[in-house]
């Protein structure tokens, strides 16, 4: 398991995404090719949207600094506890935060006819990965995805076409 505790600020998003991107390499002995690139892109994009949502919605209007203990820093500054578990063919990412909870089922789907510039994060997460959310102290967002390794026979037949 990979575990990081980050401040819930956009400046720490890159650290989270680099860890997730690197962890994607652990799901297969051959992290290469079109299918793996697609897998990694979807995982990193979904986690990036999740991190953004926590910072921009869960931790909006939080003070920038706290002078108290670790638990109060979590609650005042807003931290994100990122846990990444990998095994062959699978990745599971948990993001814990201490912001106000919400019910993702109450968020309406985006209206694509209006070409929205925001409001697509939840849609992207749900489209790219399996998603579960539990509101509480802390909130827990779980994103998971399977990577199906393609056999060499399939790769050879694709090369022949």
pLDDT for 124-146, tens place per residue?
899 999 999 999 989 999 999 99
What stretches of the chain adopt beta strand conformation (E)?
A: 2-7, 79-87, 90-97, 130-134, 139-146
Residue-by-residue DSSP string for 127-153: HHSEEEEE-SSSEEEEEEEE--PPPHH
Task: Give the total number of structural domains in the chain.
Answer: 1
Selected residue with higher pLDDT from 119 and 89: 89
3-state secondary structure of 84: strand
Average pLDDT, the chain: 84
What is the structure's pLDDT at 106? 76
* Nearest residue to 27 via CA among 19, 14, 36: 36
What is the pTM assigned to this prediction? 0.80
Cβ 132 vs Cβ 96: under 8 Å: no
Listed residue (140, 133, 72) closest to 105, CA to CA: 133
The CATH number covering residue 156 comes to 3.30.565.10
Q: Which pLDDT band, with edges at 50, 70 and 90, does 151 fall under?
A: low
Print the domain residue range for 138.
2-160
pLDDT of residue 60: 81
pLDDT at 153 > cutoff 50: no
Residue 69 has pLDDT above 80, yes or no: no
Rounded distance, CA 65 to CA 62, Å?
9
């Amino acid at each position: 398991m990979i575990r990081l505790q980050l401040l819930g600020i956009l400046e720490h998003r890159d650290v989270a995404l680099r860890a997730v991107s690197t962890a994607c390499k652990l799901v297969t002995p051959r992290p290469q090719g079109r299918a793996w690139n697609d897998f990694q892109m979807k995982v990193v994009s979904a986690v990036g949207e999740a991190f953004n949502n926590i910072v921009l919605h869960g931790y909006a209007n939080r003070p920038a600094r706290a002078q108290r203990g670790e638990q109060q820093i979590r609650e005042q500054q807003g931290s994100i506890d990122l846990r990444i578990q990998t095994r062959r063919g699978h990745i599971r990412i948990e993001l814990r935060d201490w912001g106000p909870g919400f019910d993702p089922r109450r968020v309406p789907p985006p209206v694509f006819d209006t070409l929205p510039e925001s409001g697509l994060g939840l849609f992207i997460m749900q489209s790219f990965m399996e998603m579960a959310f539990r509101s509480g102290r802390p909130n827990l967002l779980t994103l998971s995805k399977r990577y199906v390794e393609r056999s060499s026979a399939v790769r050879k037949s694709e090369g022949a076409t």
